[in-house]
Structure 1
Amino acid sequence: MTTGPLDRARTPSAGRVLAVLSVVPALAVSGWLLAGLPLLLLGAFRPLAAVPLGLVTVALLCRYGLRRVPEIGGTTARQVASVVAVALGSGIFNGLLHGEQLIVRRDPGTYAQYALWLAGHGSLPVPRREWAFGGADPGLRFDSVGFYDFGGAVVPQFMPGAPMLHAVGAWAGDIAGMLLVPPVLGAAAVLVVAGAAARLIGPRWAWLAALLFAVCLPILYTSRTTFSEIPSLILIFGGLVLLHDVTRPHDVTRPHDATHPHDAGAGSRAVTGSPPGPGAGSGPVDPGGADLGGALGGADLGKAAGTRGLAGLAGLVIGLAVMVRIDGLRDLLPVLAYAGLLIARGRAGEREAGRAGVPLLGGLVAGAGLGLAAAYLLSRPYLRYLSGSLVPLLVICGAVVLLIAVAAALAPRLAGPVRRAARIRWLPGAAFGLVVLAAAAFAARPWLQTVTRRPTTPEDRTTSLFIVAVQKANGLPTEAYRLYYENSAHWVAWYIGIPAALLAVLAAAVLARRLVRGTAAGWALPLAVVVWTTVGTLYRPAITPDHPWAARRLVPVIIPGLVLLAVWGLHWLRDRARRSGYGPAARRRITAGGAVLLLAFPVITSAGTAFTPVERGERVAVEALCAALPARASVLVAERVTADRFTQVVRGTCDVPTARIVLAPRSDVPAPADVTRLAARVRAAGRVPVLLAAKDTQLSAYGMPVQVMNLRVRQDERSLVDAPNATWSLSADVWMAVPGAGT
């Protein structure tokens, strides 16, 4: 049976399929957040309202955005199939080995309990339910790890974006369904990174970038449990991909760029002229556009309405990363500056560039504004806790906006001096050298600096005690004030491998030189975002430095950004070989050998923990705990560690009123008089008092202890100076007693 012209017209090209697949995750996440936040603020985040509204919003964003996304030229069906296979493999692998971190010990437990509360109740804050304990009492506390007691209610610690996504799984399949959402998001992130690689490097390299990204341990780690980093990555890189499609530059700065045949040589000079055509090298060039002119390319940005709309959508998607992680404010600063540059260039007479600037800025402000509003309305104590770093960041954002206004006003006068400055001959070489020097400084930092911090807050003191405990477990000298941040560049080398790290540095240096020369339009903003976030994060990771825990800081921008740069670097080496006269067979060997070398190091690092699910068994244990509680129970947690870990678990997952009893001075248990008094108040309120603790001896004075949890599972390793290569054991015991009426 033959295929007619009409059938062929209706069949999307491979380039179109890859372009759409790599953008849909960001549009879907954005649509769900846009629909979910108003419902959550109204206390109506429930399936009957959220699912229809969310689907409609996602459909509208996709209908608008996908119609304006150009296909990725030169893509074959095999390349698309390879990318999809990597994404599916990632999702299935992480789904089979997903974690079950429901007990609140660190952030995944907090996110899981946050999501389960939203799925079951659809509103915030979490009520104290003091009536279930006979009313307010100074012996009761309602806070716990990850949950603040604020304004007469319990407030979750983090931003609502990730829990709103995880709640979908809970609606679909209760706890088991929620635990499968992270692997699905991880697979979606693979598609986004592959789409970025196809646009910035070439579709034939998309599978390698996708696979290298997928096998890195931090990606495996955050794709298996309820973290916020993967959704943030989807929004940031999905927005960058959309913005790339707005500009659609001819010069995506593939390594075969004919305008710079001597990038590796000393003293190379820019050769002006038109961007290379499709025949300029080994990889195809995306159709339909040109550079943004000067340091950002040339002229045609497409139809004005489509350009403005897609730029605004890209800004909105990137800005919404703030609703997922408050750190997203730092990551979007280069995008904010880029919007200002476009606006200034429009004011200077380059109308095509100016078309995208204002919508991009508006989208960014709208998305980030929604995130900040969500933080203020739903997690104000979290903002107070972060105020030391958040306030300076907001000041920087305000300063950037002010600079944008000044630059826009003065753009016609500044255009000439800026163009003359860009022609300074030594600037490209300086840009190259600066990148290399910065990378070398970070690599040498452990021999030049030891980062310490004197505790000034209770949280700092807790962190110091934790670090001492981990040092002892690792056989290291006891140094309570150490933060190990000087090793941050080495963390990156652990996870992506030394070859990938070196290629990424080389690629960043070459691209920086090309940007200064006035090309590399496709990489201008991605490189700025990656370099800005990498430098800031590696200088001050701001996280407890045990691994794999600290690896999550590398996930939203650094790992995907360096993966893209490393693959671009391999392509650059291959093209250098072509220009040096090597034949196709030699270039294939370079590509194959380079791919194996890039993949081998992260695979070896990941192999130590990749096949061991952590905290598997917590779901069954928590469900058994909930089932053991009597009807009309009011739970009083009478031991410190149990209170930290299980107060919100019982309150949220079991949906039982729960409070912790204030501890006696210098003790892990409360005073017996407080226990008996509060139990009597619960009985007087017509409910059944239930005591929980970690040991039977802590409850035997009040009733017959019964063990309701005896959990023995594997947990993450806590390594300070080496890549993690194993898991540790974890035990959790919970005993229950029901005080008698005479107690």
Structure 2
Amino acid sequence: MDGVWRDRSRWPQAGRVLAAVTAMPALVLTGWLLAGLPLLLAGWFRPLPALLLGGALAAALCVYGTRSGKPPGGLAGRPHDTRDARGGGEVGDASAGHVWAVVGVAVASGVFNAIFHTEQLIVRRDPATYAQYTAWLAGHGFLPMPYPTAAFGGPDPALRFDSIGFYDHGGAVVPQFMPGAPLIDSIGAWLGGLSGLLMVPPVLGALAVLTVAGVAARLAGARWAPVAALAFAVALPILYTSRTTFSEIPSLILIFGGMALAADALGRSRGTAVLAGLSFGLAVLVRVDGLRDVLPVLVYAGLLIALRGRRGRGEAYARMGVPLLGGLLAGAGLGLVAAFFLSRPYLNYLSDSVRPLLVICGAVLLLTVAGAVAGPRVIPAAGRAVRAWRPARRLPEVLAALVVLVMAGFAVRPWVQTVRRVPATVEDTLNSIFIQWTQQANGMRPDPARLYSEQSLYWVIWYVGVPVVMLATLAAAVLVRRMARGRGLPWPLPLAIIGWTTVTTLWRPAITPDHPFASRRLVPVVIPGLVVLAVWGLRWAWARIRGAGYGTTAMRWLTAAGAVLLVAPGTVTSIGTAFTPVERGEAAAVRKLCAALPPDASVLMIERVTGDRFTQVVRAMCDRPAAQVRTEGGGATPPVPGAPAATAPDDGGADKTRDVAAASDVTRLVRRVRAAGRVPVLLAAEKVQLIRYGTPAQVVRLRTRQDERSLIDAPNGTWSLSIDVWMVIPGAV
């Protein structure tokens, strides 16, 4: 046995190990979601069948997707396209040191974010919506959530069962978002209860570090993967979304995992191409925006199919077109099925953007099919025509210059445009009220129509720094130029996804513009994509300088200096909030609230903000029937994605008399609950709001910190947060 351990020739090649461990996160999530969604649609998403079926499928995909074979080009031997056009240096083979460095950064990231994890459970913004969605799925295993009208003596016009993040639709309560992230987060809830649920985001964040490093290793070379891992891990948006239940990190793992699997499949395995397509497509199950992010995959697959029949490497690559397209359509199809059956109100809310996107996707699909059919005849003729057209010889340089001009345009945009939106709906009005309040809190002149979208490139610069943006732009320009000349074959798909999503996201972020909340929009593709491009740009510069004759010592200093340039700016921005956990104490507050409720309680929220924040908490985590009593102000606030449950930090509104239900409605409902054989419990934010019904007791007194809401600067601190809930069990009325 000792001889086996001493004989290193029997150990797996480092490149193969790095390829496997960085592809596994996407394969695990793919297997889990493929099993979890059908179970949820059937109403059987319970621990035993989900863990058995999902675990078995995830394990099978990992074994198949990482089976032994030749590692991808960037991980062993000479990587794809590693020679500079002038004969620069090569990236060496992956070493054990590279593997350990990448894994070490990922583990350190996971531990760090676990230590400083948040506890966003009280529904104020999207993370708590996801947490409560997860709690319901983990506890019940089906959707939608039925009205518990019997627990309140039957239907009543004063009862409302919807709340922030949860729609009243078709006689039931429907969660706001896509089910992919809650399906994943349920694993933690089953294995570790509430504490397990809160630990899932740090684990996913660590897996995202592995995934991004794997893409960097395949495309830039293994020696640059640790730099990419560290530059990615320290960015504030990554820290932010790795500490609480967002959907952006799982989406990132699936999209960049798809890139890694697609790179592995080039000229090798059709089965791996199917897995790559599934990984891309299932991003739609996690975020409806994933449909836009993976649109370039559809075009790329069609292009590969159109190349069939060509000799040489093109034919080998063309063979993965059909399986890649099949996997993509299957995965995205499952996402659309989930959207239709489980998230219909959310799609209705987003209809102004989703419908045009679906039309674009349909048009692209038709063009892709037409191009794939006509490609073998059209492409050769088009190639000859382009080569014969003399101006086309400058096309590579023109395209490279266009890349630089686009980024320059985003840089000057704040000086030539101010993006505003006049409120046209109730949701728009609520967002404008929130923006105005945030402006006042930041000491700014009120301008509620502002969206701040013109600042989007500077958001990126806050979080990753000027060197990353400049190197990424340089890399994109060089790669576009190479691809226009028929080189750089591993890059078309990654560059298309990164470029398309970066441009569309920066042009229209479509999010409430306070930070760090708005930074989540940069997480699935923009920040990891720019980091991968930046390390490739650093490698390109390194290769050219080494080709100029500089020695080993100089190259080591250059490598160290480049790594510092990529990592330091993001670290400087993040350090202001990295060591400050927010919304701590909410887990204990929820446990205390649940413990205070009688087992046979029917809970009535008689004040608006308490109803917005706690209706779903009581329903999902306390497992008690809960409803709001309509108030003069209209009852529940519409579930606006991203908008907080209140427009002020503590109580959500100045006109408190309109936020409390009429006494006649409350008294009638209390009598009806007692007649149904249950115990009526009333909740409100202040003692005075309950005093007429009995002797109130305070069941939640939370004093903690919340995220800053910065509009024009990088966030560098936190704000205070106070939440109070009072309870009364009315006597005979």
TM-score normalised by the chain length of structure 1: 0.90
What do the CA deviations read for 1:41-68 (whole angstroms, capped 9, x no partner)? 1111111111111111112211221116
Matches within 5 A, 1:391-410: 391-410=355-374
Contact 2:308 2:376 in 1 (8 A): no
- Could you tell me which residue of structure 2 aligns to residue 584 of structure 1? 552
Give identity over the alignment, percent: 63
Query: Is 1:309–2:271 an aligned residue pair?
Result: yes
Query: Is 1:126–2:145 an aligned residue pair?
Result: yes
**Distance in 1 separating the partners of 2:194 and 2:251:** 23
1:486 corresponds, among 420, 442, 454, to 454
- Could you tell me which residue of structure 1 aligns to residue 729 of structure 2? 738
Matches within 5 A, 1:326-725: 326-346=288-308, 351-420=315-384, 423=387, 424-665=392-633, 667-725=658-716
The AA in structure 2 aligned to 1:554 is L
Contact 2:686 2:725 in 1 (8 A): yes
SS state at 2:682 partner = strand
**Distance in 2 separating the partners of 1:191 and 1:326:** 24
Q: Which moves more between the two structures, 581-590 or 153-162? A: 581-590
What do the CA deviations read for 1:184-226 (whole angstroms, capped 9, x no partner)? 0000011111111111111111100000000000000000000
SS state at 2:413 partner = helix
Contact 2:476 2:495 in 1 (8 A): yes
What do the CA deviations read for 1:311-367 (whole angstroms, capped 9, x no partner)? 111101110011100100001110000000001111567542331111111100000
1:221 corresponds, among 225, 240, 250, to 240
SS state at 1:315 partner = helix
**Distance in 1 separating the partners of 2:69 and 2:623:** 46
Contact 1:142 1:154 in 2 (8 A): yes
Q: Go from structure 1 to structure 2 and tell me whether the alpha carbon gap of 1:158 and 1:69 turns closer, same or farther (over 3 Å shift).
A: farther
The AA in structure 1 aligned to 2:217 is A
Contact 1:348 1:415 in 2 (8 A): no
Contact 2:283 2:332 in 1 (8 A): yes
Contact 1:347 1:408 in 2 (8 A): no
Q: Go from structure 1 to structure 2 and tell me whether the alpha carbon gap of 1:738 and 1:403 turns closer, same or farther (over 3 Å shift).
A: same
Query: Is 1:149–2:140 an aligned residue pair?
Result: no
The AA in structure 1 aligned to 2:723 is A
SS state at 1:610 partner = coil
Q: Which moves more between the two structures, 618-627 or 396-405? A: 396-405
Q: Go from structure 1 to structure 2 and tell me whether the alpha carbon gap of 1:524 and 1:422 turns closer, same or farther (over 3 Å shift).
A: farther
**Distance in 1 separating the partners of 2:4 and 2:513:** 61
The AA in structure 2 aligned to 1:204 is R
SS state at 2:521 partner = helix
What do the CA deviations read for 1:447-489 (whole angstroms, capped 9, x no partner)? 0100000111111000000000000011111101000000000
**Distance in 1 separating the partners of 2:308 and 2:225:** 34
Q: Go from structure 1 to structure 2 and tell me whether the alpha carbon gap of 1:198 and 1:422 turns closer, same or farther (over 3 Å shift).
A: farther
Shift of 1:594: 1.5
Contact 1:20 1:69 in 2 (8 A): no
2:287 corresponds, among 314, 319, 325, to 325
Runs (4+) off by over 3 Å: 1-10, 347-351, 420-423
The AA in structure 2 aligned to 1:720 is L
**Distance in 1 separating the partners of 2:411 and 2:576:** 24
What do the CA deviations read for 1:404-436 (whole angstroms, capped 9, x no partner)? 121122223322343235542101110110000
The AA in structure 2 aligned to 1:613 is P
1:233 corresponds, among 239, 249, 252, to 252
The AA in structure 2 aligned to 1:182 is P
**Distance in 1 separating the partners of 2:470 and 2:660:** 53
- Could you tell me which residue of structure 2 aligns to residue 95 of structure 1? 114
SS state at 1:682 partner = helix
**Distance in 2 separating the partners of 1:512 and 1:534:** 15
SS state at 2:576 partner = helix
Shift of 1:631: 2.6
Contact 1:19 1:69 in 2 (8 A): no
Contact 2:4 2:10 in 1 (8 A): no
**Distance in 2 separating the partners of 1:69 and 1:553:** 37
Q: Go from structure 1 to structure 2 and tell me whether the alpha carbon gap of 1:604 and 1:634 turns closer, same or farther (over 3 Å shift).
A: same
Unpaired segments of 5 or more residues in structure 1? 248-300
**Distance in 1 separating the partners of 2:576 and 2:315:** 54
The aligned length equals 685
SS state at 1:112 partner = helix
**Distance in 2 separating the partners of 1:479 and 1:20:** 51
Contact 1:213 1:219 in 2 (8 A): yes
**Distance in 2 separating the partners of 1:682 and 1:215:** 52
Contact 1:422 1:517 in 2 (8 A): no
Shift of 1:387: 1.0
- Could you tell me which residue of structure 1 aligns to residue 652 of structure 2? none
TM-score normalised by the chain length of structure 2: 0.92
Unpaired segments of 5 or more residues in structure 2? 77-92, 635-657
The AA in structure 1 aligned to 2:621 is T
What do the CA deviations read for 1:505-551 (whole angstroms, capped 9, x no partner)? 11111111111011111111101100000000000000000000000
